Each structure stands twice: as C-alpha cells, then as structure tokens.
Amino acid sequence: MSDLKFHLQPGGQLSGKIRVPGDKSISHRSIMLGSLAEGVTEVSGFLQGEDSLATLNAFRQMGVRIEGPEEGRVTIYGVGMAGLQLPDGPLDLGNSGTSMRLLSGLLAGQTFDVTLTGDASLSGRPMRRVTDPLALMGAQIETEAGGMAPLVISGGASLKGIDYPMPMASAQVKSSLLLAGLYAQGETCVTEPAPTRDHTERMLRGFGVAVTRRGHQVCLTGGGKLQATAVDVPADISSAAFFLVGASIAEGSDLTLQHVGINPTRTGVINILREMGAHIELLNERSSGGEPVADLRVRAAPLHGIEIPLEQVPLAIDEFPALFVAAACAEGETVLRGAEELRVKESDRIQVMADGLIALGVDAQPTQDGIVIQGGGIGGGTVTSHGDHRIAMSFAMAALRASGPIEILDCENVNTSFPGFSGLSKQVGLNIEELK
C-alpha cells in the first residue's frame, strides 16, 4: 500500500476549460503498431502515465528506437513485422493489464522466447481469457496456476487464423487475437457478443492493414505489413469522466473538457449521465487520426437514479466508479447489472466502491454482477482506493457534494492513467491536497 493520500475539503464547483491527458488505450496501441511499422511514426498527445510508459519501455527492450515522450510527443523508428529482437530479460509491465494482454498476442508470433511479468495486482488478474484462444491459434504460452502472470511465451510457434466467438465482450481479448492474427496464416476472425472499443481496428486501418467488419465479426488476414503514420492521441474520455460527474453534481459548475475522444464504443458514460439528467453538450465535433473528438461542455444538473441499460455497460466499463458517485448524489435508486468484469479490474471495483460509499454513509448494496445505490447525501470520512487509480479519482469528486472532509488512502497509482490529476482538479475548483 502506498503512503500517498488525497485530502479533500467538502463543497466547491468546477469551472473553466481543461484538456485531460491522452487516451490510454490509443497511447498503448500507437507504440505497438508504430514499432511494427515500416518507417517513422510520430505520435502527439501521448499519455505519459506509468501504464503506457510500460508498453513503450517493453518495445525499447526489444530493440525499437523510440524518442520521447517529450510533452506528449513520441517518435518511433519502426522495425517492421519481423524486426523485434530478444529482450535482455523479462518485460515488466507494471500494473498494465492492457500491455500484458495485447503483447501476449503480438509476441506469440515472434521467433524468440519472452516472459511477461507485472506487479502484484497484475499478477492476480486473469490471463486465460487471452491465452486460451491464442493456444487455439498455435501459440505456446505458459502461465502460473489459475492462468495468472508471469506469462512465458515460446518463440517460433506457427500461428493459424481462427474464427473465435468471444464468450464475453472484451476489447483486450479481441485486440490480442487480432495482433496475433497479423502473424498467422490465413484469416483471423473474432465475433463479439456486444460491441467493445474498436481502437485497435481503427488504428490498424490507419497503418494500412485491411480490417473488415461484418456485423459483430471483425476479421483480418495475416502476412501483410504496416506503414508508419502520424497518430494524434485524443484526450481520454475515461479521465474526462471524473470531471463530467464532478461538474454534474456540484451546483454552479460550468466546465469544458477539450479535444476528448468520443469513439462510439466509449461514450457509455455520456449516454448514462444524460439518461440520469446530466447537461452535457458536444461542441466542435471533428476527426483526429481516424478517431472522433469533441469539446464536452458540462453544467450542473439535478440527477435522478436509473436502471442502467444493459447495452451501455460494455461502453462504460471503466467509468463505473465515477458513475457510482453520480448515483450516490442522484435522487432515487440506481441499479447496475451485467457488469461482472468490474470484479477483475485493478481491484474488485464493485466491492471496493460499495465499501467506500458505505464508509461515506451511502446505502450501496453490491450484487454478483453490479450494485444497487440509493441516492441522497454523501458524508465525510476515510476510504481506501486499494491502489486503484479510478477508485481514488472517483471519491475525490464525491467531495464536491460531501458534508464533511474526505480522506482517500493509497493513491500512488493515480499516476498510471492520470499524472497531474490533483493539480488539474485544483485548477478548476476541487479542494484537494496531496499528503505523504
């Protein structure tokens, strides 16, 4: 447990204009595809958080020359599909599940053996959902008991394309199989039970790979090559989500979040908040590097509880901790179902959020696949984030409506996705202090 704490005074409002850090999903993928491309890829808006830096360092260890990041700018000298080299030791991916799951697919088709490790949290997260389908393609990956990391990937495997119906919606599983498919003979197809974020498909197309979609099925054929391109990473909607909730619940707020990615596979948080009565406008909509972006203006509004529509759940899976805070401030009851995946994130987000809300006097009942929250008031108190960055930032926003001070323990991991969170929050009106 880290000793970094957030201490928040109650009340306040959020106003002004800010740009939150770059999208984590797109930052990861820009390094991966830029490294495999032929030519030089220039990335701007790159998220300089620990997770995406773990991906960047992994490719440096495999012989890719990467300059930066300098103020979000990264230059990647691609080595081509066959140019990665044997690293001098295991690749340590820290806390990043995205890095581990996507790299397990990308590295399954290399000629060398490689071991993927991570911190204690990452080593406790399930990897079988990617290693099992990769094995069907011919990958040779050994895991610890229960399908956990470290993962030992044997080089020289001959991969074959498969047609894989995913048992549960997961962008990381889909992406891992598509990246392995680049190295496989024939066509690799993945069928999703529900739509998930499509950053991998969009970026592969940007690098010149023919990716086809037929209904819920995504396919590509192996054996091609990637051509370097420029990538402008939009601001991360998952990071914007805390401010969307904060400005919605704090009376008198009027906040604009600039250049936010509004990929339709990620806008569940906007859709759900609007259904609860939030006042969110999309301004200056445009396209940036194949991804739709807009400025989001959010003003305070009275929220009411809802039953969260099942089809929105995969489109907001990372934003639920923030949405639970919105539910606690809403009038009436909010019910979430169909979100089992929240239990295997950086923490068990259903249980940890329920515990924290209860500590602040909110009636929150966790269920196997969701939660039932009775809206009303939020009190002061102490909560622990269990080292989960999204939990820490969500409870920080709760202070805007709390009746007393809130202390949040174990906040070091906020740097994995949102370096500078407390400074930016303070700039727009949150009463937050960092204590060591």
From 177, 206, 232, the end of a domain falls on 232
Residue 317, amino acid: I
d(CA 265, CA 138): 30
Same domain, 241 and 257: yes
pLDDT for the residue 416: 75
d(CA 432, CA 436): 13
User: Residue 344 above 90 pLDDT?
Assistant: no
Phi, psi of 320 (to 5 degrees): -65, -35
Same domain, 251 and 227: no
pLDDT for the residue 1: 63
Same domain, 105 and 153: yes
17, 318, 397 from 160: Cα distances, Å: 49, 32, 48
Same domain, 210 and 227: yes
Dump pLDDT digits (tens) for 65-106. 999 999 999 999 999 999 999 999 999 999 899 999 999 999
Same domain, 225 and 242: no
DSSP helix/strand/coil, 235? strand
How many residues in total does the chain contain? Answer: 436
**Which pTM does this prediction carry?**
0.82
Same domain, 104 and 204: yes
Confidence category of residue 3, pLDDT binned at 50, 70, 90: confident
pLDDT for the residue 380: 97
List CB contacts of 296: < 8 A, sequence separation 6 or more.
Answer: 240, 244, 256, 257, 260, 262, 270, 280, 281, 282, 283
Are 169 and 268 in contact by the 8 Å Cβ rule? The answer is: no
Same domain, 250 and 137: no
From 183, 207, 232, the end of a domain falls on 232
Same domain, 262 and 119: no
pLDDT for the residue 2: 66
| Nearest alpha-carbon partner for 34 in 230, 174, 261, 182 | 230
Query: Helix 171-181 vs helix 128-136: angle between axes, to the nearest 10 degrees?
Result: 30
Domain count, the chain: 2
Phi, psi of 74 (to 5 degrees): -135, 135
CATH code of 362's domain: 3.65.10.10
Same domain, 228 and 250: no
Catalytically active residues are 318
From 194, 214, 232, the end of a domain falls on 232
Dump pLDDT digits (tens) for 214-253. 999 999 999 999 999 999 999 999 999 999 999 999 999 9
What strands, in cross-sheet order, belong to the sheet with 254-261? 15-18, 254-261, 291-299, 279-288
pLDDT for the residue 43: 96
Six-digit token string for 299: 């003003």
Dump pLDDT digits (tens) for 279-324. 999 999 998 877 899 999 999 999 999 999 999 998 898 999 999 9
Instruction: Give the Cβ contact number of residue 89 at 10 Å.
Output: 10
Q: Of the given ranges (20-29, 288-297, 340-349), which has the lowest mean pLDDT?
A: 340-349
| Nearest alpha-carbon partner for 151 in 191, 118, 106, 178 | 118
Dump pLDDT digits (tens) for 178-225. 999 999 999 999 999 988 889 999 999 999 999 999 999 999 999 999
Same domain, 292 and 375: yes
pLDDT for the residue 281: 98
Same domain, 80 and 223: yes
271, 272, 333, 397, 417 from 304: Cα distances, Å: 14, 11, 8, 18, 29
* Average confidence score pLDDT of the chain: 94
Same domain, 194 and 275: no
| Nearest alpha-carbon partner for 383 in 366, 401, 405, 364 | 405
Percent of the chain at pLDDT above 70? 99
Q: Which residue segment(s) compose the domain that 428 sits in?
A: 5-22+234-435
pLDDT for the residue 345: 73
